Structure 1
Amino acid sequence: MKAKLATLFTLIVLVVLNVGIWSYVNNPLQLPSWNSTMMGVTYNGTRRDFNPELKNYPTREQVQEDLALLSDKVHSIRTYTSLEGMEVVPEIAAQNNMHLAMGAWIDLFDDTTTEQDRLKIEEKNRRDIESLISLSNQYPKTIVRTLVGNESLLRARSKLAGPIADQITEQFKGQLSEQDIKDKIETEVKVKVAEKASQLIDYIREVKKRTWKPVSTSETWDIWEANPALVEEVDYIGVHILPYWENVPVDKAPGAEGYAAVDYVFKRFYELQQKYPNKPIVITETGWPSDGPPQKSASASLVNEAKFLRAFLNRATAENVIYYVIEAFDQPWKIELEGTAGAYWGLFNADRQPKFPMEGEVVANPMWRNFATGAALLSVILMSAFLFTRKSLKLPGKLLFGIVANLAASVLFWSASIAAAQYQTSFSVVFWSILLMMQAMAILVLLTESLELAEVLWHRKGRRTFTPLTPSADFKYPKVSIHLPIHNEPPEMVRKTLNALAKVDYPNFEVLVMDNNTKDPEVWRPVSEDCDRLGPKFRFFHLDNWPGFKAGAINYALENTAEDAEIIAVIDSDYILNPDWLKAMVPYFDQENVGFVQSPQDYRDAHQGTFKDMCYWEYAGFFNIGMVQRNEYNAIIQHGTMTMVRKSAFEKVGAWGEWCICEDSELGLRLYEAGYDSVYCKESFGRGLMPDTFSGYMTQRFRWVYGAMQIIKKHWRHFLPNKKSLLTPAQRYYFVAGWLPWFSDALALLFTGASLVLTTLLVLNPLHSELPINAFLLPTIGLFVFKVGRGLWLYKARVACSILQAMGAALAGLSLTHTVARGTLQGLFTSGKPFMRTPKYEAQGPLIAGLLVIWQEILLLTLLIAGIVAMRMEPQFDNTSGRLWVAVLAVQAVPYLATFLTILISVAPNYLPGKKLAAEELDVDE
């Protein structure tokens, strides 16, 4: 009862802290208020569902609704066109006592424009100009100024800059310095833009001639600065000053008062005023987006939009500046033109709801309470599901898991809150769904691994700790049939195994050696002769063209096992047994429900070099951490060596599965499904040989992963809650939790591929390609750091090795990440992969051969490094999100770098001075 109360108290405290953090992050900000009527805003009446291709422009009724909403908030509005539903704006503005800056959209053509396209451009321009002139003359009291074109020259400059730069660079490369080429490009672009200005000037002159209102055009401050001839033609300067697009942050440096972005607007305004003192200036666009990618240190957010607008409005009023804030309503359709930020410049969202108040406090996420509640509920569910069922878990372990559960739930709902605040299309809904599913998978891995960490470090004394037994004097030793399958194995290695078997201290056993499908008699006959030499306990069978691989061979042994045998033991052909294995472990079968007894895999060749030392400790981690913990819940993985199975159990569950290349693990699962228990003793009773090459190491791991996927496809129904399966909830959990990291590696491979595609798009087309939000980048980096730290912590707690050996094990494990990913994906989507034998006494090949083995990893590593370099060279991504993305690419590169380093370590002895001994010469008896 006390333990449950302590758990409940822990749960409540953590949830309260979680909600408290949400509240702190969304603490209302006190900003300068604006409580007057704005001078002007830009207006585009399109709605959330607007599609330029469908041309579903705003209706009269919609414009009436919009202007009625704006009438008590602004004195004037500005339009960008006099067509596309905006023809009714002057009439409705007059009804609402609003002034109007009416615009016409003007496109310019150049030398590359075809005659047909030129005629279309001129026809569209003409219609807009005629509508502007007509409306200006029809509503002289409402329309106070006109604007012929919107960033027409800026768009022309953007179109001209690329071809001009390419042409001049190619022409003068090697003749002029880089700076001279840059200056020449800038000069030529200015000349060409000035030429295009003549088209715009013709329209301006016409409107001035045919109307009585002041006429100008809208351009960015730098276009006006570079084109005094254009200034001469207009009645006033209509300038756009948008600090967000110029990488200027809203706030000044910490400690400084004021707002950098607002200061920047007025700095540019007064510079233009100083250059053209006799020309009135109107700020026809300024503002800040509430969402979008960062532009270096300029960050788009709801709070920053509120900061900028409140500060700007107060200062503009104080300094008598005429302005139009961009814009009245969010425009989701602009995402296609300007990227995400293009949709979020409105004072109101696309549904005509205010995005933030102009007076009083501003909250970063107005809906934060809903998402905080969701995060709290999810964390309660997660903690309740695990903490109340872990009676042996101490309080620090419960705290650790509880903290991770709350953090995971908050990250998931943080991401969901960002998605909910954005305008979604069919594509973006699918995109967000995939991202959230991947994040959920990463969170599942994080939760399972944090629970394992908590249980290993803070677990009360084990209830299922098994140690070697000493049989009583009157113990009746059941007969054990030891099965030794071999295929094309070095006879001198098998001889060591047989000699060790002959020394087993057990009164009642037999040894069946099955050689399946070894073609060369010089390989299998010496083994047959050794069996003859060792006496009648040893029987040898040579099987030609035998199906089923290893499983087929040991099934044959089952059929030929002595009738009085009660226990079946299986070892691999390279294992040298301790004499007391059977005596120490067979007595556990006195418990009628024990189906199989497992001893750990162990190895005798770690001394053969750094590569094998790394592999040795990587294997040791699983058998000293994962298997020990799973044993507490009767949920271990059966392995095909150092295992014993009750013979009668085969009659109940069937023989070894010849369809599965991990027949051992599959049989163990069937035994659990039939209700049998297992025993795992972590003491080593036999030692084999590790793969001699990295290729062998990869092949072995691929087989394990592929076989696991076969098992999942065959047995998945048993992991669902149902009454037919005898699997306990803990067994279901530990099997699924054990496979989750492999699925995570497969998803990571897909994510890496997507990251490379996105990085390419970012570099080639930065305007229309955006970085993932930080809500996905930060957890990716954090999960990697957690996994590395967790692994080292677990090794320190459970594995008797040095920190360097633990780091070597981590490097070896990371080096197999791509292999695991391939095995997972191929295992899920293919079937019938043949059994892959791990070669013994394999000669280490040259470096080039090793590099060819890992060509996929090298390719991905090269592409990721190239992506990192390209991102660092792109000024636009010199911001927090850009640096986080580079960090994500670096994290993704780590496993491939680990593979490259491991292959170098494995072949290094070939290139070091001294005599090179073959693996068989290095092998030792134990």
Structure 2
Amino acid sequence: MTVVSAPVVRKSFWRALTVTVLVAVANIGLWAFINRPVHIADWHGKVGGFAYNPSQRYQDPTKFIFPSESELDSDIRMLSRYTPRLRTYSSFENPQIPRIAKFYGMTVMAGAWIEGRAERNERELAALIALARKNDNIDRVIVGNETILRGDLPVRDLIAYLDRTRAQLHVPVSTAEPLDTWQRNPDLIRHVDFVTVHILPYWERVPRKDAIGFVLGQLKSLREIVDQVSPGKPIVVGEVGWPSNGNRREYAQPSIADEAHFLRDWFNVAAREKIDYYVMEAIDQPWKEQIGGRVEAYWGVFNAAREPKFSFTGTVIEDPLWPWKAGAASLLALLPMFWFARHFIRFRVTGLFFFLILVQLSASILVWMATLPYDFYLSPLDWTMLLLLFPAQLAIILILLINGFEFTEVIWRPYWLREFKPLTPQAGDPQPFVSIHLACYNEPPEMVILTLDSLAALDYENYEVLVLDNNTRNPEIWKPVEAHCAKLGRRFRFFHLEPWGGFKAGALNYGLEVTDARAEVVAVIDADYEVRSDWLRALTGYFNNPKVAVVQCPQAHREWQHNEFRRMTNWEYDGFFRIGMHHRNERNAIIQHGTMTMVRKDVLVNTGAWSEWTICEDAELGLRLMKAGHELVYVDELMGKGLTPADFKAYKSQRYRWAFGAMQIMKARLDWMISKTSTLTRGQRFHFLTGWFSWFGDALHLVFTLMAMLWTLGMVLAPQYFMLPMYLFLVPLIGFFLFKAAFGIILYRVRVPCSWRDTIAASVASMSLSHAIARGIFEGLWRKKGEFIRTAKSRRIGAKPNPFTSVSEELLLFLALMACIAGMINSIGIHYVEGKLWIAILAAQAIPYGSALIGAWIAHRSGDTVG
């Protein structure tokens, strides 16, 4: 037993604490950098005027839900401290506004909402005229707001409304349109007393730094047009502003800092140039999001709670609450980071920093997601997406941390704590008797005979070989194997079991019944394996340790070098045995897989033999032996080589079986992994619970794909109800895809001795299994029993079938995602960052299905050159 001195313990404690605190402080620094103060020119005067829509947070004029008089009074009293003027858009809906404004000494540019419905237009005009006659603080009126831009009326009809209003009122009359409408319709200028223009640089995709110059340029152009028609006619900027949130529009980024920067600069420029204007707008109007997109809710200088978003003087901070959020994120991550640093202090310091930063970033994302509703006016659809994404985001973070732990341990460990090599027995060392069990079903006889010949050549004295033929009906397949066993001698015994239940586990349990009584160890190999002659001699010595119950070698493959499909699958398998198995072996938590494995016989029998209720009896046995307190030894030495699956169908069915069986085991043995009384160690519980998380990620990927396709369909066909998710929802998903891909590729380059080309091919092979794994996960969770499908290692076929028959579901999903991408580009376009990110996510979701098509085609083109 190693005794660690007190100074060493103290040193490791302080080292772990130092690293933890440094990462926590760096996190606060990152939040501070993102929210660093913005220095803007101060504004000490009054605002020229505010465009005022009076709806409260949950009110909606399109649903005839209007504010009360007391709410209007409260708004106007507040706004009167900032400006002497208001602009309204409708006179029929809130006729109290001019009267209340007059009480607070304010003038009103009153509006009549004009659209395609004549009845409403008449009602609005009547209300406007009545208000203007009744309230002498209405100093100007606006008939129609962007009516021509929307195409609600032809110009001649709008001119008729303008002329009627001018004839009945003694105050100046105008209509409000953007510059291009005035440019296309100069005759409209003759029928207004002043020209009202809307100049909103955000909608023109102008970056904020160029926005003031853009507004001045538009005004100059308009001045030239007006002077050609009606020289000297006044120009009023009816709407000018910048949104504080919502979708980016190419170079135009909505943010509180940008809104403050634009408006404070504008106030100073407008005062210097004596420009008449109304800011768009006084107060945020969340209801507008449903009719004009997310950004429409965020044009206010005040938020919907009637709080100022920024000050007119001093610096501006994008998120004033960032210190609380940063502190919460650091506190949330502090204990997990310190625990990890203390337990894995042996890792190189770079590795400690890397994983602790990953933990801290995860905590920051969780805090950000939890506080997101406070920064946005979330619609019911937004809430739905948030409620769906938050648990999914949590699962994604867990998967990322689990993969990150594996990455950190493999890359930055100084050494493996549990590393086992082949033994070199000395002359006279005892040889335990080994009973080798070879279960087969409908295997090509020549392949099985090759395996038997390799077993006959073992450099070992005390062993037997039991061939357990399980329900092979055609005598032409199993009879030659029986004859070959007889030819090899008394060590080789053949058993034809028909009919026989329990799949492979049932055959292996029969093998236990007929095993030689002298056997101390049971070894299991697949029917396609050629073993090294020193397999037993180099490994059975580990059983001298009474705690050892299993000695396991990696699955390995042969005859793949000249077959492109077998090559890519060979390297895909190799990654797990060179990376994942070492990672699990550190905590005595390896997956016991069903070939090249040796098990102590009495332990196997006494713990219940092979489980026939699961189609992954080998993995279940390993977990059972760990629970019983035994050790499992993983020797990363290629002591035998088999064949990869013969074609893509076999490759998929094998991984489906593994995923289905994993869910069977998880359901049946979940209490072993979560119960406080379980004898499994924390490390074993961790690996058996989290080892399947990547597969859960594949299942989650399928759910996301279906949801994304439905959402895209909604955005294309019903854009009034479905809109692009906020980019803040999407960035973490893109980050997850990138991190996960980077982890896999880097680990391969470090641990797997293959070329870059083989690394990419192995990645394609791995991703091609995503849908099969997802189906296995869902069906394993839903169904109790599964069918053990033999993985074909060799096929004899004549004409080749359609290469995509085995991937019909993947083909449909791939085509559907491509259609979604095409629909997005055609309908919404790529002008928004959110649109680009959504298309990127759809493309990323299509990668596994595209990989399956590539894998199926490569398998088809490669053919079967083995067997």
TM-score (ref. length: structure 2): 0.93
Describe the superposition over 1:610-633 as per-residue Cα deviations: whole angstroms up to 9, x where unpaired: 222222122111111111121111
Residue from 38, 47, 51 that aligns with 1:42: 51
- Partners of 2:408 and 2:680 in 1: how far apart? 24
Secondary structure of the residue aligned to 1:618 is helix
Residue from 757, 761, 766 that aligns with 1:813: 766
Residue from 260, 276, 283 that aligns with 1:329: 283
Secondary structure of the residue aligned to 1:854 is helix
Describe the superposition over 1:282-316 as per-residue Cα deviations: whole angstroms up to 9, x where unpaired: 22222111111122222211112112211222222
Q: CA deviation at 1:35?
A: 1.3
- Partners of 1:744 and 1:324 in 2: how far apart? 52
Does the alignment pair 1:891 with 2:849?
A: no
Instruction: Check conservation: 2:246, 2:726, Cα contact below 8 A.
Output: no
Secondary structure of the residue aligned to 2:304 is coil
Q: CA deviation at 1:573?
A: 1.0
Q: What residue number does 1:225 align with?
A: 183
Q: What residue number does 2:694 align with?
A: 741
Instruction: Check conservation: 1:28, 1:362, Cα contact below 8 A.
Output: yes
1:217 aligned partner, one-letter code:
T
Does the alignment pair 1:77 with 2:90?
A: no
Query: Counterparts of 1:303-318 in structure 2 under 5 Å?
Result: 303-318=257-272
- Partners of 1:337 and 1:455 in 2: how far apart? 52
Range that drifts further, 214-223 or 470-479 = 470-479
Residue from 94, 108, 113 that aligns with 1:100: 108
- Partners of 1:550 and 1:105 in 2: how far apart? 77
Instruction: Check conservation: 1:339, 1:768, Cα contact below 8 A.
Output: no
Q: CA deviation at 1:150?
A: 2.2
Secondary structure of the residue aligned to 1:716 is helix
Describe the superposition over 1:86-133 as per-residue Cα deviations: whole angstroms up to 9, x where unpaired: 121122111111111122222214xxxxxxxxxxx50x3333333222
Describe the superposition over 1:527-569 as per-residue Cα deviations: whole angstroms up to 9, x where unpaired: 2222233333333222223222112221222233334433222
Q: What residue number does 2:128 align with?
A: 132
Query: Counterparts of 1:246-395 in structure 2 under 5 Å?
Result: 246-252=204-210, 259-267=212-220, 269-276=222-229, 277-395=231-349
Q: What residue number does 1:28 align with?
A: 37
1:357 aligned partner, one-letter code:
S
Q: What residue number does 2:3 align with?
A: none
Structure 1 gaps of 5+ residues are: 110-120, 158-192, 253-257, 911-916, 921-926
1:144 aligned partner, one-letter code:
D
Q: What residue number does 1:637 align with?
A: 591
- Partners of 1:918 and 1:228 in 2: how far apart? 79
Instruction: Check conservation: 2:615, 2:787, Cα contact below 8 A.
Output: yes
Q: What residue number does 1:726 align with?
A: 679
Q: What residue number does 1:143 align with?
A: 138
Query: Judging changes above 3 Å, is the alpha-carbon distance between structure 1 residues 309 and 339 closer, same or farther for their aligned structure 2 residues?
Result: same
Residue from 796, 800, 815 that aligns with 2:749: 796
Q: CA deviation at 1:783?
A: 3.5
Does the alignment pair 1:566 with 2:520?
A: yes
Q: CA deviation at 1:260?
A: 4.3
Secondary structure of the residue aligned to 2:493 is strand
Secondary structure of the residue aligned to 2:193 is coil
Residue from 668, 671, 679 that aligns with 1:717: 671
Secondary structure of the residue aligned to 1:899 is helix
Instruction: Check conservation: 1:843, 1:919, Cα contact below 8 A.
Output: no
- Partners of 2:799 and 2:720 in 1: how far apart? 47
- Partners of 1:362 and 1:791 in 2: how far apart? 42
2:379 aligned partner, one-letter code:
T
- Partners of 1:427 and 1:658 in 2: how far apart? 47
Q: CA deviation at 1:396?
A: 2.0
Secondary structure of the residue aligned to 1:217 is strand
Query: Judging changes above 3 Å, is the alpha-carbon distance between structure 1 residues 709 and 259 closer, same or farther for their aligned structure 2 residues?
Result: farther
Q: What residue number does 1:11 align with?
A: 20
Describe the superposition over 1:675-696 as per-residue Cα deviations: whole angstroms up to 9, x where unpaired: 2221111112211111121222
Does the alignment pair 1:64 with 2:73?
A: yes
Q: What residue number does 1:186 align with?
A: none
- Partners of 1:666 and 1:146 in 2: how far apart? 80
1:136 aligned partner, one-letter code:
A
Describe the superposition over 1:503-546 as per-residue Cα deviations: whole angstroms up to 9, x where unpaired: 33333333222222211111112222222333333332222232
Residue from 762, 771, 782 that aligns with 1:829: 782
Range that drifts further, 759-768 or 571-580 = 759-768
Query: Judging changes above 3 Å, is the alpha-carbon distance between structure 1 residues 321 and 467 closer, same or farther for their aligned structure 2 residues?
Result: same
Instruction: Check conservation: 2:381, 2:722, Cα contact below 8 A.
Output: no
Does the alignment pair 1:903 with 2:861?
A: no
Residue from 207, 211, 214 that aligns with 2:169: 211
1:326 aligned partner, one-letter code:
M
- Partners of 1:213 and 1:653 in 2: how far apart? 97
Q: What residue number does 1:183 align with?
A: none
Query: Judging changes above 3 Å, is the alpha-carbon distance between structure 1 residues 240 and 16 closer, same or farther for their aligned structure 2 residues?
Result: same
Query: Judging changes above 3 Å, is the alpha-carbon distance between structure 1 residues 40 and 244 closer, same or farther for their aligned structure 2 residues?
Result: same
- Partners of 1:602 and 1:7 in 2: how far apart? 40
Query: Counterparts of 1:768-783 in structure 2 under 5 Å?
Result: 770-783=723-736
Describe the superposition over 1:323-352 as per-residue Cα deviations: whole angstroms up to 9, x where unpaired: 111111111111110110111111111111
- Partners of 1:784 and 1:830 in 2: how far apart? 30
Query: Judging changes above 3 Å, is the alpha-carbon distance between structure 1 residues 767 and 28 closer, same or farther for their aligned structure 2 residues?
Result: farther
TM-score (ref. length: structure 1): 0.87
- Partners of 2:156 and 2:52 in 1: how far apart? 28
Range that drifts further, 328-337 or 218-227 = 218-227
- Partners of 1:261 and 1:4 in 2: how far apart? 59
- Partners of 1:96 and 1:619 in 2: how far apart? 77
Secondary structure of the residue aligned to 2:442 is coil
2:330 aligned partner, one-letter code:
A
Q: What residue number does 1:167 align with?
A: none
Instruction: Check conservation: 2:565, 2:862, Cα contact below 8 A.
Output: no
Query: Counterparts of 1:672-683 in structure 2 under 5 Å?
Result: 672-683=626-637
Q: CA deviation at 1:489?
A: 0.7
Does the alignment pair 1:153 with 2:161?
A: no
Instruction: Check conservation: 2:810, 2:852, Cα contact below 8 A.
Output: yes
Residue from 500, 504, 507 that aligns with 1:550: 504
Q: CA deviation at 1:793?
A: 2.6
1:919 aligned partner, one-letter code:
V
Q: CA deviation at 1:577?
A: 2.0
Residue from 196, 200, 217 that aligns with 1:242: 200
Instruction: Check conservation: 2:673, 2:685, Cα contact below 8 A.
Output: yes
Does the alignment pair 1:479 with 2:433?
A: yes
Q: What residue number does 1:174 align with?
A: none
Residue from 531, 547, 563 that aligns with 2:485: 531
Q: What residue number does 1:164 align with?
A: none
Instruction: Check conservation: 1:774, 1:881, Cα contact below 8 A.
Output: yes
Q: CA deviation at 1:67?
A: 0.9
- Partners of 2:439 and 2:669 in 1: how far apart? 26
Does the alignment pair 1:690 with 2:644?
A: yes
Query: Judging changes above 3 Å, is the alpha-carbon distance between structure 1 residues 61 and 664 closer, same or farther for their aligned structure 2 residues?
Result: same
Describe the superposition over 1:870-909 as per-residue Cα deviations: whole angstroms up to 9, x where unpaired: 6566785235444444443443343334333333333334
Does the alignment pair 1:649 with 2:645?
A: no
1:223 aligned partner, one-letter code:
T
- Partners of 1:885 and 1:37 in 2: how far apart? 42
Instruction: Check conservation: 1:297, 1:879, Cα contact below 8 A.
Output: no
Query: Judging changes above 3 Å, is the alpha-carbon distance between structure 1 residues 213 and 780 closer, same or farther for their aligned structure 2 residues?
Result: same
Q: CA deviation at 1:599?
A: 1.3
1:854 aligned partner, one-letter code:
V
- Partners of 2:719 and 2:213 in 1: how far apart? 25
Instruction: Check conservation: 1:337, 1:768, Cα contact below 8 A.
Output: no
Instruction: Check conservation: 1:845, 1:907, Cα contact below 8 A.
Output: no
- Partners of 1:288 and 1:412 in 2: how far apart? 29
Query: Judging changes above 3 Å, is the alpha-carbon distance between structure 1 residues 331 and 61 closer, same or farther for their aligned structure 2 residues?
Result: same
Q: CA deviation at 1:475?
A: 4.2
Secondary structure of the residue aligned to 1:148 is strand
Q: What residue number does 1:838 align with?
A: 791
1:148 aligned partner, one-letter code:
V
- Partners of 2:484 and 2:453 in 1: how far apart? 9
RMSD across aligned C-alpha pairs, in angstroms? Answer: 2.6
Q: CA deviation at 1:68?
A: 1.1
Secondary structure of the residue aligned to 1:282 is strand
Describe the superposition over 1:351-406 as per-residue Cα deviations: whole angstroms up to 9, x where unpaired: 11111111111112222112212222233233223222124322221122123223
Q: What residue number does 2:531 align with?
A: 577
Secondary structure of the residue aligned to 1:600 is coil
Range that drifts further, 241-250 or 680-689 = 241-250
Q: CA deviation at 1:867?
A: 4.8
